[in-house]
Structure 1
Amino acid sequence: MKIIDEFSKDGDIIRGKVLLQHIEGLNNNLEFEVVIYPQYPFKHNESETIKFVNKDLVHYNHVMKNGEICIHTLHSSKLKQKLIADFESLRAWVEKYYINKENDSHYEHIVIEEQPFEGVYYSYQFTDVEYFFTKGEFGVINLIPFSTGIYKGKGILNSLVKSFLPYTKGISIDSKWNNFYMNLEAKHYGLFLFLGDVPALYNRFAFSNWLEFKNCIPKEFLDLLNKHRLKSKKNKSTLLPIFFGYNIPNGKIHWISAIVKLNDMPIKAVPVKNDKGIKIKGKWEGQLLNKKITWAITIIGVGAIGSIVAKTLVKCGAKNIDLVDYDLKEPENICRSEYEFINGFCDKTDELVKILNETSPFVKVKYANEEYFSYIKALYKLRKVKSNYENFLNNYDIVFNCSADSDLMYVLDDLELNTDLINLSITNHAKDLVCAFYPNIYRFVQTQFISILDNDVDDLYNPTGCWSPTFKASYNDINLLVQYALKQINFIYQENKPKNNFTLSTTFENNLEIKLTRY
């Protein structure tokens, strides 16, 4: 590797350019613009904060539309070690995808540039049908609006696809939802067109304007679209969703959707996914954390572990909980957490606030300031910022970090805190859980995961998309260990025991056994 443009600061960002050469099989040297963000060597949420960009490589695998190479490397708090790992990852990308032109065994979604339509997001949930679509087939889709929420900070309307009505066949093809959903009224409709082929540039970037569809859409479908346009001529604001179906390698069908205003045709991409009263005494003053039940608690990271912790605390009587997470809840990742399908696409914190309020009429639950957690990795060494962050966390009596974010773990351990900070992490397949108390969190957790526990990172779950793989585990696997850990934490507080770190490990020799190891 050779530096061809010296690295220099551009505001808070560092920019430079490198040349990759002398790699076996590489006939032409490759230039990459390098962009380093202030959080480096830490990630920003789950995104790497070093970018390698070459817009001429956009047609290769794992390259974003702006030419950014898609890489994911392991956590390291050491700058030199992380730089070496990231440049080695770039070299590995060149060898695997540029030189050898390899294809991944798991399917990845095409990239859709999601946008709100007139300030609102729309999502549509599909499931299987007993029908074989043929190329060029089109018709009407019946839609059930079933929930609203907040998605990326804006409103979202979630709908289910109830049935397909092919234009010339006079039949209704029902989706395989259960009776609860199928008995709901279909109040809206859309049009569908089964393309067969993927409507995407390089099979990765979804078409974003009508001209890209010009060789895909038959005249008969355009005639149908025009017929609906003429019907709605008096109402210029009539919205019509259009769904384009295509085959994917495993024999299944995927759909993407676009919203059009019938008298104005821009495409906007959308994501395709009680009279007695309740007495407080006895019923809602639970035993968990005993007399500390009125403590102010915040939970950082409300995925599988965090959402289970939050709901358990509320069911056991916690009354003041703040939630922190930047992520979105999608219907396909609800099976191991406390989220619900009926709420559709939405921000995790928005839905969990709703769920916790529905769980207890006495809890005060809200979002904490997520901005602290987004930018602290870049700014935590600045004395004033660090002090503000410490004061923010010290307003709570207990902080649960369930984020599985090693970078954030490192930063939190470096703060001067008066609050009780508890970190909960699990290994792949949820064979083990690690509970660590501040100020001995980061090093302890890293040692457990790297040197002591059996954490098989070669067998992670690859989601349908180009992002970091995640652990394999069911709701039962995770909940078993989280509930055991909360019971042990409760015991520590109730009996005023030393806050020693511990691990929980499961074995299945003759029967299920859970071993608790204190440190």
Structure 2
Amino acid sequence: MRFDKIKTIINKIPFVKNLNDIRQEEFFIVGNVDILFDGLDKPLNFEFTITKEYPLKSFDSESIKFSNPDFIEYNHVMQNGLICIHTSHSRSLESKLQIDFNSLKNWIVKYYINKDIDSNYEHVVVNDSSIEGNTYSFIFSETNNSFNQSEFGSVEMAYLNQGRYREGSIFNFLVKEFKDCKTQESKQCNWSNQYSNLETNFEGVYYFYDNPPAVYNKFVFNTWNELQFSQDFLDFLFKLETEIQYSEYKSFPLFIGYKINETEIHWQVSILEIGNFPLKGIPTKIDGKKTGKWKTDLVDEKINWALSRNASYQYFFGRGKFSNELTDKKIMIIGIGAVGSIIAKTLIRCGCKFIDFIDHDIKEPENVCRSEYFFKNGIANKTYELEKILYEISPHANCKGLQSNYFENVIKSFYTEDEFKMNIENDLEYYDLIIDCSTDNDLMYVLNSLKLNIDLINISLTNHSKELVCAFYPNTYSFVNNQFSNVLNNDVEDLYEPTGCWSPTFKASYNDINTMVQIALKRLNKIFSGELSKNNFVIQEIEDQLKIIEY
């Protein structure tokens, strides 16, 4: 029934000139069609396969496949001849077949007839290999240096971790630096200070190939003799193999670099087996006679490709980030409890590059449920643990936790003395933005009394996280106090009272707090990007609806 219906629908598609073959196999329906329409000189032939899931997708792929190996030189054709199409959803068999065949037609028009070139770069297709069940990955970022054709040298790396990948293990490495063998020029990858300062504990070599090492600039070379290295580099590899033959490691990475546009470089990484480099010696001859000398050449053997990923800032945050006006600021967060830790983590995930935070408090187990800390880390300084957490999220953020009483013993003690007050103001103006999440009215008063040429924000929540108040300097102290005392209905009776001699704290879940904070940060991003005016605001929950009130 299903087979006959599919056959009938395909036969009715206007530009299907011939349905040459269609048959039901054990799991698939397979067939062959000729496509012809205005603009084509002759019919184009395609094999097709329809899986059992059709018209639903299979994982992230369409469950109908069109192929012709003769078209692999064209864009969006895989090495086995499969045409890459991505189409819209339909649960109707007839509608979905119409959509998918029209997508094939659109591919023919765009890439076969018009030979369009996409503006976005498509990476070379690489089938990574595992070695004894292990996969290797190498994560790099852009450098501020250029590379020259046939340049080669050493690569310094830091071991990150071992994880699981498919059915085996994966070993992850961070690329720190490329060093030109001839000029000794160091070309460092752009990472945060924490990652740049990781211990170098693994090395490799690189060769800059200029052009992609690939067939049709799409499919990476499969064998070593497809590559063309300079004789200097081949001799360098031969000497290197001798030097490291007794290494404790079994594998050695070779980075092959090439330009993907005028400014960007990508690296593919192959894995060499120590003691079995893909090299051979060839006797040199003059007039057919051996000279007694040898030259190094590549053998005709399979290349084992590893995983390589570009984690430069623009790619790491390519799926979304805050505006540059916010991410480029030097930020200080005062108080990293529930609100402060959520703000810090969100800013890091949204591309902020420089965040310091200060808190004198200790993280206890009961802090975990509504903040960004982890139970596994036990009892620790909040600043110590948050610094560790943020470091593990982004390789492009310089974060520093300050376990300090600066705002308690220094600012509160000396803010009225002119000389010390000026020093305090100079200290704070090191930052572009200070976010006060301390809920300390005394500190808010002191900060508001200073003369600052930076942005200072106070963010605080009412009990049960019913309202979030956000105020900008120089109108923080009076605005926040007025909201809590005269405007908002802040419940000061139903507070959480910890065991022992503790100060009571507001009640609210992680979900309650995070909802308010994320909406506030979204608005702040728009304010700093210039979309909204820099006005104080309150986010208020009214009958399960959130309302933003601007002042």
TM-score range, shorter chain: 0.5 to 0.7
The answer to whether 1:272 aligns with 2:287 is no
Partner residue, 1:14: 29
2:135/2:306 contact within 8 Å kept = yes
Aligned mates of 2:198, 2:229 — CA distance in 1: 32
Unaligned runs of 5+ in 2: 1-15, 279-301, 310-318, 321-336, 339-347, 352-370, 378-509, 517-525, 547-551
Cα deviation 1:380-434 (Å, max 9, x = unaligned): xxxxxxxxxxxxxxxxxxxxxxxxxxxxxxxxxxxxxxxxxxxxxxxxxxxxxxx
The answer to whether 1:253 aligns with 2:265 is yes
Aligned mates of 2:112, 2:213 — CA distance in 1: 24
RMSD: 3.4
248 and 83 in structure 1: CA distance in 2 versus 1, 3 angstrom threshold: same
Aligned mates of 1:130, 1:108 — CA distance in 2: 23
Paired AA for residue 305 in structure 2: A
1:228/1:262 contact within 8 Å kept = no
Greater relative contact order (CA < 8 Å, ≥ 6 in sequence): 1
Aligned mates of 2:514, 2:24 — CA distance in 1: 46
SS of the residue aligned with 2:304? strand
Partner residue, 1:198: 212
2:155/2:179 contact within 8 Å kept = yes
Alignment of 1:302-321 (within 5 A): none
Please report the TM-score for the alignment, with normalisation by the length of structure 2. Answer: 0.51
Cα deviation 1:162-219 (Å, max 9, x = unaligned): 1111111123222221121122111111110001111111011111210110xx2111
Partner residue, 2:50: 36
Aligned mates of 1:236, 1:28 — CA distance in 2: 61
1:18/1:33 contact within 8 Å kept = yes
2:17/2:43 contact within 8 Å kept = no
253 and 180 in structure 1: CA distance in 2 versus 1, 3 angstrom threshold: same
Deviation for aligned residue 1:6: 3.1
Partner residue, 2:224: 210
SS of the residue aligned with 1:118? coil
Percent sequence identity over matched residues? 34
SS of the residue aligned with 1:68? coil
Structure 1 stretch displaced more, 507-516 or 87-96: 507-516
1:236/1:262 contact within 8 Å kept = no
Deviation for aligned residue 1:262: 2.7
Aligned mates of 1:87, 1:234 — CA distance in 2: 58
187 and 10 in structure 1: CA distance in 2 versus 1, 3 angstrom threshold: same
Paired AA for residue 52 in structure 2: P
2:71/2:81 contact within 8 Å kept = yes
The answer to whether 1:131 aligns with 2:145 is yes
The answer to whether 1:222 aligns with 2:234 is yes
Aligned mates of 1:132, 1:80 — CA distance in 2: 54
Aligned mates of 1:272, 1:141 — CA distance in 2: 14
Structure with the greater alpha carbon radius of gyration: 2
Aligned mates of 2:513, 2:177 — CA distance in 1: 45
47 and 211 in structure 1: CA distance in 2 versus 1, 3 angstrom threshold: same
171 and 249 in structure 1: CA distance in 2 versus 1, 3 angstrom threshold: closer
Deviation for aligned residue 1:514: 10
Aligned mates of 1:174, 1:120 — CA distance in 2: 28
209 and 485 in structure 1: CA distance in 2 versus 1, 3 angstrom threshold: farther
485 and 92 in structure 1: CA distance in 2 versus 1, 3 angstrom threshold: farther
Alignment of 1:105-184 (within 5 A): 105-184=119-198
The correspondence for 1:2, drawn from 2, 17, 25, is 17
Paired AA for residue 252 in structure 1: E
SS of the residue aligned with 2:308? coil
The correspondence for 1:87, drawn from 61, 86, 101, is 101
335 and 45 in structure 1: CA distance in 2 versus 1, 3 angstrom threshold: farther
Aligned mates of 1:11, 1:483 — CA distance in 2: 50
* Consecutive aligned runs of 4 or more in structure 1 exceeding 4 Å deviation: 234-237, 334-337, 482-488, 506-518
SS of the residue aligned with 1:94? helix
Partner residue, 2:111: 97
Cα deviation 1:259-309 (Å, max 9, x = unaligned): 010322342111112xxxxxxxxxxxxxxxxxxxxxxxxxxxxxx99xxxx
Aligned residues, how many? 305
Deviation for aligned residue 1:25: 2.1
Aligned mates of 1:7, 1:147 — CA distance in 2: 50
